[in-house]
Amino acid sequence: MPADTTAINKLMDRFNDHSSVWLFGYGSLIFKVGFPFVERRPAYIMNWSRRFWQGSYDHRGTLDAPGRVVTLIPQAGAACEGIAYLITPDILEQIDFREKNGYLRLCTEIAFEDGTVAEGLVYIATEENTAFLGPATELDIARQIAASVGPSGPNKDYLTGLAEALRELGKEDQHVFEIERHLMSMQDKVELVI
């Protein structure tokens, strides 16, 4: 799969004739929206887990020193919690560009806290994309995040922004919070040395 998925995502036109579509956000879309929306609701999707397994060359790192951002990994019975945005389809072009580094638009069932469900979209970076980094220990991920900076700023700001947003939603994510604990521990050690 090419590094830039913008053209591929334009072919996914299932919702183009709809007046609105739900978009599920589980990473930076939770805390850094950057696009207009009609409605925003806490939501979740089933059988997926959030993991810092995707490389970021265009936002939180560079080609020489990629950052790490989240994608979704299939996991039976798991629920990934986040935010769903009701958007108009014309906004998808803007989001396609934002998510161009390996993410594909996929159709999914989005569940809301009131028990209702809706068909919508999610962007997922699979292992077939050239920026996929794959699994690593939470400590190794934290080390990479601590050292990475890209056009959108330090990779650590992405991690702490996501962790803070999940806490504000009252949601637990052991993977995210463990990486954050390692990052904070590293920063504390640096401050003690200085």
Q: Looking up tokens 């999914």, which residue turns up? A: 108
- The CATH number linked to 72 is 3.10.490.10
Is 81 part of the annotated catalytic residue set? no
pLDDT tier at 3 (50, 70, 90 boundaries)? confident
What's residue 14's pLDDT? 87
What's residue 91's pLDDT? 95
The model's pLDDT over 56-113, given as tens digits with 9 standing for 90+, comes to: 999 999 989 999 999 999 999 999 999 999 999 999 999 999 999 999 999 999 999 9
What's residue 1's pLDDT? 63
What's residue 2's pLDDT? 61
Using an 8 Å Cβ cutoff, are 55 and 122 in contact? no
- Tell me if 71 is assigned to some domain: yes
The model's pLDDT over 134-162, given as tens digits with 9 standing for 90+, comes to: 999 999 999 999 999 999 999 999 999 99
If one counts every other C-beta atom within 10 angstroms of the C-beta of residue 119, the result is 13
What's residue 191's pLDDT? 54
What's residue 187's pLDDT? 77
Q: Is the pLDDT of residue 29 over 50?
A: yes
Q: Which of 99, 109, 119, 178 is catalytic?
A: 99
Q: Is the pLDDT of residue 194 over 60?
A: no
- Tell me if 108 is assigned to some domain: yes
- Tell me if 1 is assigned to some domain: no
- Tell me if 81 is assigned to some domain: yes
* Residue 59 lies in domain: 6-193
- Name the percent of the chain lying above pLDDT 90: 86
DSSP at 101: B
- Tell me if 53 is assigned to some domain: yes
CA distances from 64 to 84, 105, 131, 141, 157 (A): 33, 27, 12, 16, 19
Q: How many domains does the chain have?
A: 1
- Tell me if 25 is assigned to some domain: yes
When pLDDT is averaged across residues 30-52 and rounded to a whole number, the result is 97
